[in-house]
Structure 1
Amino acid sequence: MKRISLFSTIVSIGLICFFVLPLILFHATMFETGAALIGFYVYVCGIITAVGGIYFASEFLKVEKIIFDIESLPLLETDEAVEGVPFAGEGIIEPENGKILKSPYTNTPCVYFHSIKEKYERQGQSGCWKIVENIASFVPFYIKDKRGKLKVDLANLDNDFSGYIISIKRNIPDPKNSEIDCDAVLKHAPYPLSRDVFSFLTPSSYRVSEFVLRPGTKVFVCGMVSRRNGNLVLHEDEKWPLIISKKSRDQYVREFYRGENLIYLSHFFAAAGFTISLLAINYAIKLKPIHLLILLLFGNLFILGSIGFTIYNRIVALRNRALNALSNIHGELKRRADLIPAIVEIIKGYVKHESEIQKIIAESREKIIFSSELKREKEPIISSLVAVIENYPELKASENFQSLMKTLVDTEERIAYSREFYNRTVRKYNTLIQQIPFSLVAKILRFKEMEFIRIAKE
């Protein structure tokens, strides 16, 4: 996926303007004077600036939506993967049945490699590198954690951070944005790799690059889960790209938010581009100063005024994300409420006093409490249930009880993450509508601060 930031946007627009210059110079005979040529070039650069700012902002919003969905998922253990449901988790790479690949140039043990050979070809007084070999391959592997493992399918992989196109098995449909974070074991190394001392006196006409994913690498993964041949498999989906990253989930998500300010600054790119283009074209059409001033004034007022719509959409988007996170909490609390009766039924066969059962039921009744202050909470726990387990150790021998308890613990962790994610989103929303000019739009349209939540007993 694209990592779009303000810096990368400025650099990209600058490079496009730079490469447009030779094309315009090639048609220099079309212009009567050098000043006309320069004026046309400035006009084109203004258009590029305006369109480029809007384009990169729209691309950022597309990527941000995917990243927000990834961020909203709680990290699960592999045995919690469910068919037809997106999965996010962490684990290590384990080859299926111990089968591994050896990369062609460095002979590195791996489950995936991408090897590229390039040849330098002269064209007149200059030259360029051309790809003569581009090979990518993988073997089946798992993501393994302390509770199990989940198979991964790399088909339709789009990016391995090599900078080269991946020639790999592709299925239809073929969504974009799937990526794998590989180790660069070679990067533009002279080929052959073993050269005698005299060969270094003359540059090699070949170079190679190689990227691998090694067994045992700790990774964060995200994707859709399906059942294939009786096994659960993590793969890409139309809505969920397959992500395999050596970064933690928080680190991975954070690098995409660096371009957030571009959403608003795109209007200034558009205004700057409009102003530059209008001033440049005025060299040819010779508008009256008053007419030029009116066009500049109203054009920029319209462009900068449209930032109000962007601010409104941003506020609504953050509020809706918080509400979506809240609905996830309600879902997990319902899941928790459904588990408790099943656990209680098993416990009834062991405990001696009905009061112990009633205490567990009472403690398990929790609800969402809204608060204007964000309070640090301990991990949710049903203390009376823990006491029963300690007082009746024979409960631990029950497989049904252990299975239900594991599900309950997983649910508690999901509630804790969903609560923390909701509060984090609310904090971001509240901070936004307190800042100028967002506070002006929020006040006019009556957007109010949202309350934080905590989970407490009824």
Structure 2
Amino acid sequence: MIIKQILVGEIMDILLIILIVIIIVIILAIVALYNGLVTARNKVKNAWAQIDVQLNRRADLIPNLVETVKGYAGHEKTVFEDVTVARAGLMNANGVKEISDANNQLSNTLKTLFAVAENYPELKANENFKELQDQLAQSEDKIAYSRQFYNDTVLMYNNKCQTFPSSIFANMFGFKEADFFEVAGEARSVPKVEF
């Protein structure tokens, strides 16, 4: 009888230890899932900050570019106004969707500005204009890279928010999916090439 009580006591102790280990493993898994979601969300915020830096860099170049072109093409007033309005729209935009739309608008107006510049050979030869154009091209490349990095980061974060079991904790702790930085519809179309 005493041996039976000792065996039952030892079995209960072993079961208690197993239960404690299972609880600790579950708690560690929850902590790991939560920390993974927080880390992914912070990566999205960091990637967005990098896009913001590049958009601001480009926006800072635009007034100099406009002033340089104005010196040669002063009568193209509507183009300059459109670029200025689009730049202001980008600077005042908030949120991924609104900034993405404002960025697309600014890109379209810059295309118009460069089309105007094509009509002035002496402007295209101007060193200041060339340097500004090169800096703007570099900014566009950095924006494209930053946008790709941001979208890749958003994809990883959204996958964590949508896949099991992290989706349970994402919903429980209020993690929301992030928006992708998208290009304008006309940028997706295939350009028509004619010879």
TM-score, normalising length: structure 1: 0.33
Query: Matched residues in 2 for 1:435 and 1:421: separation?
Result: 21
Amino acid across the alignment from 1:345: E
Picking from 344, 352, 359, the partner of 2:82 is 359
Matches within 5 A, 1:214-363: 288-353=10-75, 354-363=77-86
Deviation at 1:304, TM superposition (A): 3.1
Match of 1:444 in 2: 172
Amino acid across the alignment from 1:327: A
Secondary structure (helix, strand or coil) at the match of 1:451 reads coil
Q: Which runs of 5+ in 2 are unaligned?
A: 1-8, 98-103, 185-195
Assess, with a 3 A threshold, how the Cα gap between structure 1 residues 449 and 328 changes in structure 2: closer, same or farther: same
CA contact (8 A) 1:368 1:454 kept: no
Match of 1:384 in 2: 112
Query: Matched residues in 2 for 1:386 and 1:369: separation?
Result: 28
Query: Matched residues in 2 for 1:299 and 1:453: separation?
Result: 44
Give the root-mean-square deviation of aligned CA atoms. 2.2
Secondary structure (helix, strand or coil) at the match of 1:448 reads coil
Cα deviation per residue 1:68-87 (whole Å; 9 max; x = unaligned)? xxxxxxxxxxxxxxxxxxxx
Deviation at 1:363, TM superposition (A): 4.3
Amino acid across the alignment from 2:78: S
Query: Matched residues in 2 for 1:333 and 1:399: separation?
Result: 24
Assess, with a 3 A threshold, how the Cα gap between structure 1 residues 369 and 445 changes in structure 2: closer, same or farther: closer
Assess, with a 3 A threshold, how the Cα gap between structure 1 residues 437 and 445 changes in structure 2: closer, same or farther: same
Query: Matched residues in 1 for 2:126 and 2:175: separation?
Result: 52
Amino acid across the alignment from 1:370: V
Query: Matched residues in 1 for 2:130 and 2:39: separation?
Result: 41
Picking from 357, 363, 370, the partner of 2:96 is 370
Matches within 5 A, 1:425-440: 425-440=153-168
Deviation at 1:391, TM superposition (A): 0.9
Match of 2:187 in 1: none
Amino acid across the alignment from 2:36: R
Amino acid across the alignment from 1:339: L
Amino acid across the alignment from 1:452: F
CA contact (8 A) 2:96 2:181 kept: yes
Cα deviation per residue 1:317-354 (whole Å; 9 max; x = unaligned)? 01001001111111111111111111111111110412
Deviation at 1:407, TM superposition (A): 0.5
CA contact (8 A) 1:359 1:384 kept: no
Amino acid across the alignment from 1:347: V
Match of 1:273 in 2: none
Assess, with a 3 A threshold, how the Cα gap between structure 1 residues 362 and 384 changes in structure 2: closer, same or farther: farther
Matches within 5 A, 1:85-104: none
CA contact (8 A) 2:54 2:139 kept: yes
Deviation at 1:368, TM superposition (A): 6.1
**% identical aligned pairs:** 38
Picking from 134, 147, 150, the partner of 1:419 is 147
CA contact (8 A) 2:118 2:124 kept: no
Deviation at 1:305, TM superposition (A): 2.4
Query: Matched residues in 1 for 2:83 and 2:116: separation?
Result: 9
Structure with the largest fraction of helix: 2
Assess, with a 3 A threshold, how the Cα gap between structure 1 residues 363 and 390 changes in structure 2: closer, same or farther: farther
Query: Matched residues in 1 for 2:119 and 2:60: separation?
Result: 24
Secondary structure (helix, strand or coil) at the match of 1:395 reads helix
Match of 1:214 in 2: none
Query: Matched residues in 2 for 1:304 and 1:451: separation?
Result: 31
CA contact (8 A) 1:369 1:455 kept: no
Aligned residues: 163
